[in-house]
Amino acid sequence: MIGLNNGRTEQYDSSEYDREREVQAFDDSKAGVKGLVDGGVTRLPRIFLHNQYVAKMKSDSEIVTKFSIPVIDFEGLGKSAVQRADIVRGIKNACEKWGFFQVVHHEIPSIVMEKVIEDVRHFHEQDSEVKKEFYSRDVMRKFSYNSNFDLHKTRAANWRDTLSLVVAPNPPDPREMAEVCRICYETGRYSI
């Protein structure tokens, strides 16, 4: 298997690699990817290496993308049944083909979006011992933090941590949330 170490390509010996054990140790740490970075990781753990090696490009200008993120325009959402049906079809298509999309004209004030991003950043910047309280793979929890929802199923993990807050149909008890996220939620500063 090929990996990168400080920008250098190197070959890994796979004879003694126990992926399940490495995945479980990473998950048990409850520190996530941010914990690896904060701990000073200098070598990408093998659980994050994909089997396909992507060759280095000579320059960024060689990278050509033929894809664009689907954009869903909510501007006509409440105006007519026909416009609403078109928007719903666009969402369905984006979810089926991409798994995500960008929404424009959604009427959520930028100050609300900025505050949500700020709170998420503050959550991830907290001491790892505070975050561990919320680290969970329980999909029934209204507020949780983990790394790679499919960590134990996928062949290679993605370099990401996720903070999840489920507010519908029944909002969480604010005491279930991290304090850095709770303050704005309780005071309604996220409301539109």
Is pTM beyond 0.85? Reply is: no
Q: What is the pLDDT along the chain (192 residues), one digit of tens a residue?
A: 444 455 444 555 666 789 999 999 999 999 999 999 999 999 999 999 886 555 454 455 555 556 688 999 999 888 899 999 999 999 999 999 988 899 999 988 888 888 888 989 999 999 999 999 999 999 999 999 999 989 999 989 999 999 998 888 988 888 889 988 876 666 565 543
* Residue owning tokens 């929404």: 103
Q: What are phi and psi of 14, to 5 degrees?
A: -95, 5
Question: Quick check: 144 and 32 in contact, CB under 8 A?
Answer: no
Which pLDDT belongs to residue 52? Answer: 56
Residue type for 66, please? K
> What secondary structure letter does DSSP report for 171?
P
Angstrom distance (rounded) from CA 12 to CA 191: 50
| pLDDT of 132 | 96
Determine the Cα–Cα distance for residues 167 and 177; give it in Å rounded to an integer: 11
CB-based contact 49:156 (threshold 8 Å)? yes
Helix (H) or strand (E) holding 13: none
CA–CA distance from 40 to each of 121, 135, 139 (Å)?
Answer: 19, 21, 30
